[in-house]
Structure 1
C-alpha cells in the first residue's frame, strides 16, 4: 500500500529528458519505462539496407533475470511530517528508461536494452585516406 505524502519541489532544473524516461513530482502507482536501442556508429557512411531488425539480436528478446525475494519482510511507517520537501534539484540528464521521482509509488520497474555497434576502418584504410 502506498503511503501518500505531499511533494513540494521549489525548483527543478533539468537539461535533458531522453527517450522513455520519466520526471515526476507527485504520487504514482506504477512507473514502467522501457526502451530498446539499436545504435551503429561508423567512420564511413555506409547503408547496408538490412539493418535495424531487432529480432536478429537475442538481447532484445531474452528474459532478464529478476531477483528472487524469499524473505518475509514486514514494514510499518509513521510519517511525522507527511510532506516531501525539496529545495531545488539540478539534473544533467535522464536517459534510457531512467526515473527521477519525488513522491510515493508502488513500483518502479525500468528496463533498458542497448546494442551499440562501432565499425571502425582498419589502420591501413585510415592511413590511405
Structure 2
C-alpha cells in the first residue's frame, strides 16, 4: 500500500448515522454493514412498534454475488511531494455504511440493505383494480 501523509486544514461534517464511518488515519480494512427496515405510514406521526422482522424479506438473507476481479493495470506513479494537502472539506451527510476516509485504506467492503415500505391511505381505502 502506498504511504503518503494527508494534511487537511478544515473538515466539516453536518451529520452521520447508521453504520457510517469518519476515519482519520491509516486503516488496513473497513467493513461497515447496515440492515434496515423503514416503515412509513401516511397520516401517522407517532412512532410505534412495527411488527416486521428481517426474516420477512428475502433481500436480507440473499447471498451477495462477489464483485468481478478488477482488471490488472500497470501503473507508474511519481509523487513529487510526499504529502497530500487539502484546504477544506465539507460533507452534508454520511450514512448507510458509507465512509469518509482521510488516510490510507487497503480494503473497503461496505454493504447496506434497506427495505423501505410506504403505506399510503389512498391504496388502503381503494378497491383492487381487476380490469386488465
Band the TM-score falls in, shorter-chain normalisation: 0.7 to 0.9
Q: Bigger CA drift: 11-20 or 76-85?
A: 76-85
Structure 1 residue 90 corresponds to structure 2 residue 106: no
- Measured after TM superposition, the shift of residue 41 of structure 1 is 0.3
User: Equivalent residue for 1:26?
Assistant: 25
Deviates more, 1:85-94 or 1:64-73: 64-73
The 1:33–1:70 alpha-carbon spacing in structure 2 relative to 1, beyond 3 Å, is closer
Q: Could you say if the C-alpha distance between residues 122 and 26 of structure 1 is closer, same or farther in structure 2, counting changes exceeding 3 Å?
A: same
Q: Which runs of 5+ in 1 are unaligned?
A: none
Task: Return closer, same or farther for 1:49/1:23 CA change in 2, 3 Å cut-off.
Answer: closer
Contact 1:13–1:90 (CA<8 Å) still a contact in 2? Answer: yes
Whether 2:12 is the aligned partner of 1:10: answer no
In structure 2, C-alpha distance between the alignment counterparts of 1:71 and 1:101, rounded to whole Å = 24
What TM-score do the two structures reach when normalised by structure 2? 0.80
Q: What displacement does 1:121 show? A: 0.9
Aligned equivalents of 1:123, 1:66: Cα separation in 2:
38
Which whole-Å CA distance do the structure 2 matches of 1:118 and 1:37 have between them? 14
- Quick check: 1:62 aligned with 2:79? no
Q: CA deviation at 1:52?
A: 3.0
When you count strand as a share of all residues, which structure comes out higher?
Answer: 2
Structure 2 residues not aligned, in runs of 5+:
127-132
- Give the CA RMSD over aligned residues: 2.7
Aligned equivalents of 2:11 and 2:41: distance in 1? 37
Change in 2 beyond 3 A, CA 1:78/1:43: same
Distance 2:114 2:120 in 1: 19
Q: TM-score, length-normalised on structure 1?
A: 0.82
